[in-house]
Amino acid sequence: MELKRVVVTGLGAITPLGNTVNDFWEALKNGVSGSDLITHFDAGKFKTKFGCEVKNFDPKAHFERKELRKLDRYSQYALVATNEAIADSGIDLEKVNKDRVGVIYGSGIGGLETFMDEAMHYCRGDGTPRFSPFFIPKMISDIAAGHISIRYGFRGPNFGTVSACATSTNAILDAYNYIRLDKADVFVSGGSEASINPAGVGGFNAMQAISTNNENYKTASKPFDANRDGFVMGEGAGTLILEEYNHAIKRGAKIYAEVTGGGMSADAYHLTAPHPEGLGAALVMKNALEDAGMNPEEVDYINVHGTATPRGDISEILGILKVFGEHSYKLNISATKSMTGHLLGAAGAAEAIASLFALEYGIIPPTINHTTYDPEIDNKLNFTLNKAQKREVSVVLSNTFGFGGHNASIILKKHIV
C-alpha cells in the first residue's frame, strides 16, 4: 500500500523555560538555564538540591477544584500543553471526524507524586487502609492519554507509551505510523513528566545519575563538558498535533514540518548504562535514515540526547561518527537539555518542538554551560557551544535514549510551500 504523508500542524509546551511554546523557544535560542533550587519540597537533606522545575504554574488557573482531585501534576501538564497545541493547530472540533482523531501520549514514570503521597499517608496512619478512590487512575502512566481523549471526545486509537526517556519520541513515532497506514487522520501525541519530588530525586540520587553540583546549580547541566557529573532533573510536557498531509492541506492548516522517518533500537546491554561503543545509538539513527529514505549527508542538525552523563555523551557521539562519518563535521549538534534539564518521558516531545523551530527559523539552539573540553570526545565536531548559531536547516534528526536500552530517533523535514 502507498503510505500517507504526515505533517506537524500544532504545538504546545509547558517547560522549565516557559509555559507556552513561544516562551520556550525564546529562552532556548537565548541560551537560558532553567535550573534553580527545588521548591516543590524541602530538599535540604538530599544530595541534589536543584532541578529544572516548571515555574509560575497555577493549577487553579486551568482546572476546577473538583477536577484537580483526579489529576496528578503530570496529567495537568499534559492537558495544558495539549490545549495549546489544539488551539495552535486551528482544528475545528465541531467539524473534525473524531472517530479518526487519536491520542498517543506517554510518560516515563507517570504519577510518581501521587503514588508517594498515598503511600506516605498510609504509612503514617494506624494501618487502616485509607486510599483515595482516584489513587490508581491518577497514578497510571496511560491516564494522560485517557484524559485528553475524554476532554475532546477523540475516539481514535488511544494509549500511552512507556520507554523511559525515549517515551514521547516513541509516542510520536507510533502516531506517525498509524497515520501513514491510514488508521487515523489526526493524532495528539507527546509526553509529560512531573517527578521532581522526594521519591524521584532520592531515587536518581541513589543511582548516582543526577548532578550534585549544588554550588553551581545554574550551570550544572553541561553536556560534553569534561566536568559533567550527571543530568539535571526537569519536568513538563510537550504536545504535537500530527496530521495526514492532504487532510491538513484541505483545511488550510499551517504546516510546521513533515515527519519523514523514525527509528527504534535496543542497546541490549545494561539496565542504565549505554553501550560503550554506541552500537544502539548508531543503529537507531541508521534505522531512522533508512525509514526516511535519506542519506546521512541530507541531515543538517542533530538534537542529541545529550544528558551530561559521563558515559552517555561519549556513547552517543561514537554512534554519530559511525553513521555520519565525515559528514559529522558538517553537522550542527546541540543538547537542549543543557537548558531544560532532562524532562525524562517528556524529553523527546520537547526536543522535537525545539527541532521544529530550528527548521522554521534557521537557528540552532545552543549547548550551554560548556567550559572545558573532554579529551574522550571529538571536539572538532560543532556542538553549537554556549551561543545559538544561524544556518539554513532543511532536515533535523532528534535522538532520545532511555534506561533499559530503549532508543528512538525521529527525522523532521522542512515543509516547502
Residues 270-305 pLDDT 10s: 999 999 999 999 999 999 999 999 999 999 999 999
Reply yes or no on whether the pLDDT at 115 is more than 90.
Answer: yes
What residues act catalytically?
165, 305, 342
Q: Is the pTM of this model over 0.95?
A: yes
Per-residue burial over 367-398, b if 16 or more Cβ lie within 10 Å, else e, is bbbbeeebeebeeebbbbbeebbeeebebbbb
Residues 194-211 pLDDT 10s: 999 999 999 999 999 999
Phi then psi for residue 37, to 5 deg, are -65, 145
Residues 156-171 pLDDT 10s: 999 999 999 999 999 9
CA distance 340 to 232: 9
Helical H segments across 307-381, by residue range: 310-324, 337-340, 347-361
Phi then psi for residue 290, to 5 deg, are -65, -40
CA distance 160 to 146: 8
Reply yes or no on whether the pLDDT at 414 is more than 90.
Answer: yes
Spatial contact of 32 and 71, defined as CB atoms under 8 Å apart: no
- Give start-end residues of each CATH 3.40.47.10 domain in the chain: 7-250, 263-414
Per-residue confidence (pLDDT) for residue 1, from 0 to 100: 78
Q: CB within 8 A of 309, min separation 6: which ones?
A: 209, 228, 230, 231
Per-residue confidence (pLDDT) for residue 20, from 0 to 100: 98
Per-residue confidence (pLDDT) for residue 416, from 0 to 100: 83
Spatial contact of 183 and 268, defined as CB atoms under 8 Å apart: no
Q: In the chain, count H helices and then E strands.
A: 13, 14
Residues 32-70 pLDDT 10s: 999 999 999 999 999 999 999 999 999 999 999 999 999
CA distance 343 to 325: 30
Calculate mean pLDDT across residues 349-361: 98
Helical H segments across 110-207, by residue range: 112-123, 135-139, 143-152, 167-180, 198-207
Per-residue confidence (pLDDT) for residue 94, from 0 to 100: 96
Reply yes or no on whether the pLDDT at 351 is more than 80.
Answer: yes
Average pLDDT, the chain: 97
CATH class of 7-250: alpha beta
Residues 382-394 pLDDT 10s: 999 999 999 999 9
Residues 221-257 pLDDT 10s: 999 999 999 999 999 999 999 999 999 999 999 999 9
Residue with cell 553513521: 323
CA distance 300 to 333: 9
Per-residue confidence (pLDDT) for residue 253, from 0 to 100: 98
Q: How many CB atoms lie within 10 A of CB 124?
A: 7
3-state helix, strand, coil in the chain (%, to 5): 40, 20, 40
Fold of 263-414: Peroxisomal Thiolase; Chain A, domain 1 (3.40.47)
